[in-house]
């Protein structure tokens, strides 16, 4: 039991570190007020789908804290929480659909897809609320703040979710044993 807990803690720390490093692998343009398309979500999803909700939440929380400490853009303490620790921790909710309980590859892919879409949607919601409350001043003249926040955040989160989903499906297809816990 203690050995298993230690193994989960080590995996969580390693995947959080890998996720942080993957946050530097960026695709496409840079967004003016934060956000980017990167591979940061992939290791968090791997851990969450392998080890479950708690490990995923903790890994995401660690990544969010590291990102803010290493130069996050902060205008208010609540915005800091919404855009960093909470947003990344919510990625761990993919762990609600942990794959170690099933053997069928097709079912694993379906569960992973549901978990990834849910977790990405929750991360979007966190960034969206932050955008509406603290970044509405950047909305173009005549555009509703909610529309601006939704479009801005979807412009990088949707492609990042799709890339993460494709990578996860490929991992499940090629290495399903990665998600089996002994």
Q: How far apart are CA 132 and CA 54, in angstroms?
A: 29
Q: How far apart are CA 155 and CA 28, in angstroms?
A: 11
Sign of the torsion angle spanned by Cα atoms 138, 81, 74, 55:
negative
Count of C-beta atoms within a 10 Å radius of residue 89: 25
Q: What is the pTM of this model?
A: 0.94
Q: Return the CATH fold of 2-179.
A: Arp2/3 complex 21 kDa subunit ARPC3 (1.10.1760)
**149, two tokens:** 């926040």
Contact call for residues 40 and 63 (beta carbons, < 8 A): yes
Per-residue pLDDT of the chain (182 residues; tens, 9 = 90+): 899 999 999 999 999 999 999 999 888 766 666 778 999 999 999 999 999 999 999 999 999 999 999 988 899 999 999 999 999 999 999 999 998 878 788 899 999 999 999 999 999 999 999 999 999 889 999 999 999 999 999 999 999 999 999 999 999 999 999 998 87
Show the beta-strand stretches assigned E in the chain. Answer: 26-27, 37-38
Contact call for residues 167 and 43 (beta carbons, < 8 A): no
DSSP state at residue 1: -
């Amino acid at each position: 039991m203690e050995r298993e807990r230690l193994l989960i803690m080590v995996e969580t720390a390693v995947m959080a570190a890998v996720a942080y490093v993957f946050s530097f692998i960026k695709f496409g343009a840079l967004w003016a007020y934060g956000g980017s398309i990167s591979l940061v979500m992939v290791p968090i999803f791997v851990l969450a789908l392998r080890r479950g909700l708690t490990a995923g939440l903790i890994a995401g929380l660690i990544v969010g804290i590291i990102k803010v400490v290493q130069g996050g853009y902060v205008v208010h303490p609540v915005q800091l929480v919404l855009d960093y620790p909470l947003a990344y921790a919510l990625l761990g909710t993919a762990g609600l659909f942990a794959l170690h309980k099933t053997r069928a590859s097709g079912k694993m892919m379906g569960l992973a897809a549901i978990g990834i879409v849910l977790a990405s949607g929750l991360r979007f919601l966190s960034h969206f609320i932050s955008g509406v409350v603290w970044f509405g001043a950047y909305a173009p003249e005549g555009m509703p703040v909610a529309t601006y926040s939704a479009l801005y955040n979807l412009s990088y989160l949707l492609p990042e979710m799709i890339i993460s989903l494709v990578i996860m499906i490929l991992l499940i297809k090629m290495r399903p044993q990665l998600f089996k816990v002994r």
